[in-house]
Amino acid sequence: MNENTSGQSGVAYLPSAWMPRHRDNLVRLGSDHDGGYIVTENIIGLTDFLVGLGIGTDWAFEADFYKRKGIPLHCYDHTMGLGRFTRDAIRNIRLFLTTPGIRNNGALFIRNILLPLQYGIFFSGKRRHFKEKIGDDPEYYTDFRKIFSRIPDRDKVFIKMDIEGSEFRALHGLRGYYERLTGITVEFRHLTTMMDTVRRHVGDLGERFHIVHVHVNNFGGTDERGIPAIIEMTFESKEFSPGRDRPSERSYPVDGLDSPNAAHERDYRLEFRG
């Protein structure tokens, strides 16, 4: 694995079939670094219901989308919740009082102790968090059948999926709901070892969606072929974007939109080939 730690921008390679289609109306939502994603104004305007799969301690993407549209929001993450954030806040207060070195990072300390309050304020009303793990076996996991059973039948849905490798298991169950989607943003992991699997998923999505943006997550590095370990890919429904099918002429990462996930390292320059 070639880590991008030199301060110089490396080059990463992806299949030419994954070249995004041109869009003038791209916009970044969420964090300036990890947790921020690129969508289109078209997607935002057409979406009736937002689903966020994988939240952790950062729901800035969902918050920005909500500010723009004010639509109902369901988030799924089995690793977080009010109880965990409260326990973590108490532990951080104790550390702050007993460990002098911790006090040097006051901003992080304040953020951590405020998380329970921020969580309680944001996830209320039509913004809901389900402490459930996403997968394809309804006996053990929450699958897309259950997710969509909680959404009005006529609502058009956008999905953000960042579930740390479980995307491969979950995506199989999404196929029956493609016609309900305005688009989907997926973080694909393990490309260096699972490229054939990712190709199949991207190919399946490509039947109903245009790729409108790709970004290399610089946390993951590349292998000796220049294949990145982690990418973020946004798809827009072909049904809701007719007559807009021409290759992008942008350079990637896109100035003014893309930003390195790891803020202290530069982004990988992306080239499409093969």
pLDDT in tens, 67-81: 999 999 999 999 998
Which of 123, 153, 181 corresponds to the end of one domain?
A: 123
119 shares a domain with 16: no
Determine, yes or no, domain membership for 212.
yes
State residue 95's pLDDT score: 72
Query: Does residue 27 form part of some domain?
Result: yes
- Decide if 37 is inside a domain: yes
- In a shared domain, residues 100 and 159: no
Which of 68, 99, 123 is the C-terminal boundary of a domain? 123
Contact 20, 241 (CB under 8 A): no
97, 69: one domain: no
Q: Taking Cα atoms as reference points, which of 92, 6, 14, 33 lies closest to residue 257?
A: 33
At residue 162 the predicted structure's pLDDT band, cuts being 50, 70 and 90, is very high
Counting the structural domains of the chain, the total is 2
Residue 240: inside a domain, yes or no?
Answer: yes
pLDDT of residue 254: 97
Are residues 249 and 210 both part of a single domain? Answer: yes
Omega prior to 72 cis, within 30 of 0: no
pLDDT at 164: 85
At 3, is the pLDDT very low, low, confident or very high (cuts 50, 70, 90)?
A: very low
Q: For residue 1, tell me if it sits in a domain.
A: no
The two structure tokens encoding residue 189: 């992991």
Interatomic CA distance for residues 177 and 191, integer angstroms:
25
Indicate whether this model's pTM tops 0.85: yes
Cα–Cα distance, 92 to 86 (Å, whole number): 10
Question: CA 193 → CA 69, 117, 184, 255, 274, distances in Å?
Answer: 38, 40, 23, 29, 18
Which of 75-89, 106-120, 172-186, 239-253 has the lowest average pLDDT? 106-120
Over range 18-42, report the average pLDDT.
96
3-state secondary structure (DSSP) of residue 217: coil
Torsion of CA 116, 117, 123, 125, to 10 degrees: 140
196 in the same domain as 235: yes
pLDDT of residue 199: 96
- Of 233, 264, 242, 267, nearest to 252 (Cα)? 267
Q: How confident is the model at residue 106 (pLDDT cuts 50, 70, 90)?
A: low
Q: What whole-number distance in Å separates Cα of residue 120 and Cα of residue 115?
A: 8
Q: Are residues 24 and 62 in the same domain?
A: yes
> Do residue 48 and residue 21 come from a single domain?
yes
Nearest to 97 by CA among 109, 107, 88: 109
Could you tell me which of 189, 214, 218 has the C-alpha nearest to residue 3?
A: 218
Q: Domain of 253: which CATH number?
A: 3.40.50
pLDDT category at 158 given cuts 50, 70, 90 is very high
Rg of the chain in Å (alpha carbons): 19
**Residues 117 and 217 grouped into a single domain:** no
Q: Name the phi and psi angles at 153, rounded to 5.
A: -55, -35
Residue 229 domain-assigned?
yes
Lowest average pLDDT, out of 108-112, 186-190, 223-227, goes to: 108-112
Over range 38-45, report the average pLDDT.
Answer: 97
Structural domain ending residue among the three candidates 123, 157, 192: 123
In a domain, 24, yes or no: yes
Strands (E), the chain: 11-15, 26-29, 37-40, 49-53, 73-76, 127-130, 157-161, 181-188, 209-216, 231-237, 269-273
Whether 167 and 233 map to the same domain: the answer is yes
Helix axes 82-98, 106-122, angle to 10 degrees: 160
Domain co-membership, 86 together with 70: no
- CB of 12 closer than 8 Å to CB of 227: yes
- Asked if residue 26 and residue 100 are part of one domain, the reply reads no
Q: Is residue 6 part of a domain?
A: no
* Beta strands 157-161; 49-53: pairing state: parallel
Q: Please give the residue range of the domain that contains residue 87.
A: 81-123
| pLDDT value at residue 92 | 72
**Mean predicted confidence (pLDDT) in 8-35:** 92
Q: Is the CB of residue 159 less than 8 Å from the CB of residue 75?
A: no
Indicate whether 139 and 189 sit together in one domain: yes
Cα–Cα distance between 23 and 59 in angstroms, integer? 25
Of residues 106 and 120, the one with the higher pLDDT is 120
